[in-house]
Amino acid sequence: MATNKKKLLITQSMAKVGWDLFNERGDIEAVQFPNTVTSGDFRALLAQHAPVNGVALGVTPFSEPEIAASKEMQVVARIGVGYDAVDVPALTKKKIPLMVAGTANSPSVAEQAMFMMMTLAKRGAELNAMVQKNEWNKRMSAVPLSS
């Protein structure tokens, strides 16, 4: 008997609210897998649960062997920033769309970049070490003098 139920493999980094949504739906079977699963173990998991219709990846690589193991892949999603672990040409060849988080992490990435620039510009690590060693009075010895 044909069914419209879709099987998804979802990384365990998915938030609880996401799992709750999957569990409420009768047309989705969501299978959890570890964020740090090896490529071989992931392919075995895909083959074990095949046909798999969609995956939501964290850092797990995804390419032609994973597509083949899934049997009926229809969509790949990437939770996180970028899609460097995903073989986009392999997905394109099979007409499988790739979804990414878009701007979800952009503020955090921008904040981290600004923090790193300010830390370098304001000598954060150096001055913090002086405080920890109780040598704060030496802070002016490393200031460049104007000529």
Confidence label for 89 from pLDDT (cuts 50, 70 and 90) = very high
Close Cβ partners of 105 (under 8 Å, ≥ 6 residues apart): 80, 81
Q: What percent of the chain has pLDDT over 70?
A: 92
**Per-residue pLDDT tens digits for 122-132:** 888 888 999 99
Average pLDDT over residues 30-58: 94
Beta strands in the chain (DSSP E): 6-11, 28-33, 52-57, 71-78, 98-100
Question: Do 30 and 58 lie in a common domain?
Answer: yes
The answer to whether 66 and 88 are in contact (CB under 8 A) is no
Average pLDDT over residues 65-81: 92
pTM confidence score: 0.69
First-residue to last-residue Cα distance in the chain: 85
Q: Residue 65's domain is classified under what CATH number?
A: 3.40.50.720
Q: Which two tokens stand for residue 143?
A: 């200031």
Got the DSSP string for 105-142?
Answer: THHHHHHHHHHHHHHHHTTHHHHHHHHHTT-GGGGGGG
Question: Do 47 and 26 lie in a common domain?
Answer: yes
- Residue 50: inside a domain: yes
Q: Which domain holds residue 133?
A: 106-140
Does residue 65 have a pLDDT over 70? yes
**Per-residue pLDDT tens digits for 102-124:** 666 777 878 889 999 999 988 88
As a whole number, the mean pLDDT across the chain is 88
- Residue 112: inside a domain: yes
DSSP state, residue 145: P
Question: Do 70 and 118 lie in a common domain?
Answer: no
